[in-house]
Amino acid sequence: MSFTNVLTALAATGGIGDFRPLASLEELAEKHGRPSDSGRGSSEHEWPYWLRYGDVRLEACECRIVHSLQLETWNDTVTIPADRFGEYVALEASTTFRHLESGLLVAGVSWTTITRRPDQFTLEVEAPHATVHFTFVTGGDDEESGKDDALLYGVTAQEFTHWCGQS
């Protein structure tokens, strides 16, 4: 399993295995054990709440439903939960636009490109029940220069149907 495969599956399904927006925290704990870390966003409010399984960061509301998933990908390796209880897998994180683009094309996933800053761009994918963003940094002022070699900086998947006023 390469990290590009994980990202392509995330674009196609909206999740990393069981870890996806609208997943229930109870089910994740049953299947994967306790999170590696967790905490509150604010000392004054119990919710929303964040959890980490390896490098996969989740945000959840009081309904114990996952709203969003985030993954920082600018480190050398990224650790994600494996399919089995309590197990993790470490993958080489370095992913370029060219890598992900070829994975998405093979998987038949389409995207739109959003450019808000000259040194970065974001691919937006409408996955089932989630909007997925892949943000790349080019490290240059010229948008077109080095786009293929732009490095993946971060990934988010956000659901857009659950509304309880806490997200």
Q: Would you say 4 or 68 has its CB closer to Zn ion? A: 68
22 binds Zn ion (CB under 5 A): no
Under 8 Å between Cβ of 136 and 120? yes
Region near Zn ion per CB under 5 A, out of 28-36, 63-71, 129-137, 139-147: 63-71
Q: Is 69 in the site for Zn ion (CB under 5 A)?
A: no
* Helix, strand, coil percentages for the chain (3-state, nearest 5): 20, 40, 45
- Residue 60 or 100 having the CB closest to Zn ion: 60
Based on the shown chain and the rule CB under 5 A, indicate whether residue 104 belongs to the binding site for Zn ion.
Answer: no
- Smallest CA-to-CA distance from 59 within 78, 42, 44, 73 is with 42
* Residue 160 is a binding residue for Zn ion (CB under 5 A): no
DSSP 89: E
Q: Binding segment for Zn ion among 6-14, 46-54, 57-65, 140-148 (CB under 5 A)?
A: 57-65
Judged by CB under 5 A, the residue of 22, 63, 82, 89 near Zn ion is 63
Establish if 61 lies at the interface with Zn ion (CB under 5 A).
yes
DSSP-derived secondary structure letter, 45: -
Question: Which C-beta is closer to Zn ion: that of 36 or that of 166?
Answer: 166
- Binding residues for Zn ion, rule CB under 5 A, total 3
Query: If you search the block for the tokens 């306790």, which residue do you land on?
Result: 34
H helix runs in the chain, sequence order: 3-13, 25-32, 97-107
| In the complex, minimum distance from the CB of residue 163 to Zn ion, in angstroms, rounded to a whole number | 8
**Nearest by Cα to 10 from 41, 56, 44:** 56
For residue 164, state whether it binds Zn ion (rule: CB under 5 A).
yes
Rule CB under 5 A: which residues touch Zn ion?
61, 63, 164
